[in-house]
Amino acid sequence: MSDTGSADASDRTVVAARIGKPHGLRGEVTVQLHTDNPEGRFVPGARFETEPVERGPLLLRTVRVHQGTYLLGFEGHADRNAAEALRDTRLLIEGDDGRDEDDGWREEDLLGFDVVLPDGAAVGTVCALHLRPVQDLLEVRTPSGDVLVPFVEEMVPEVDEEARRIVIDPPPGLLELGEG
């Protein structure tokens, strides 16, 4: 999360969602939500600044929920190829995203953190945070591939913001899932 140094929440830019894969042929995309207020944030006509900046701004054309997943369509992106070009774009909003400070982590807070085992052995770096209804998942980029680690206290006993380091204590075999 970028913070300009002011305590005023309206001075902050936060990520409301990250665009995922295209859905269907009419330019819709799936999104990974990073806000507790999707109904208030994603309404036709809403305008989003983007990261990377050259992909935006984006004007929301359509919104619908399909099997629990938000599907968004944007002006000027009317087909699957145009939607694919938006993959991994972050939709930015000004101010508070509706979460309390103690509600959990935002992806932008954790990206690039070093991930180590309890003995200090390097595992990799955080490359994504997947927010799920039951439990969130840390995506860790390791030398042998990306691995998803349940973001629960039993497996992630320490997050050191100052050192930008996360300690994980995975069960046997979890880290080998990224190999292949």
- For the stretch 108-150, pLDDT in tens is 788 899 999 999 999 999 998 887 766 788 899 999 899 999 8
- What is the pLDDT averaged over residues 24-33? 87
Q: Please tell me the predicted confidence (pLDDT) of residue 29.
A: 92
The pLDDT-based confidence of 175 (bands split at 50, 70, 90) is confident
Q: Ramachandran region of residue 161, left (φ > 0), alpha (ψ -120 to 50) or beta?
A: alpha
State how far Cα 145 lies from the chain centre.
Answer: 19
Coil, strand or helix at 117? coil
List beta partners, residue 18.
32, 90
pLDDT at 179 over 60: no
How many secondary structure helices (H) and strands (E) does the chain include?
A: 3, 12
For residue range 64-119, list pLDDT tens digits in order: 988 888 899 999 998 999 999 999 898 988 765 444 344 567 777 888 999 999 99
Task: Calculate the CA dihedral of residues 171, 174, 175, 179 and round it to 10 degrees.
Answer: 160
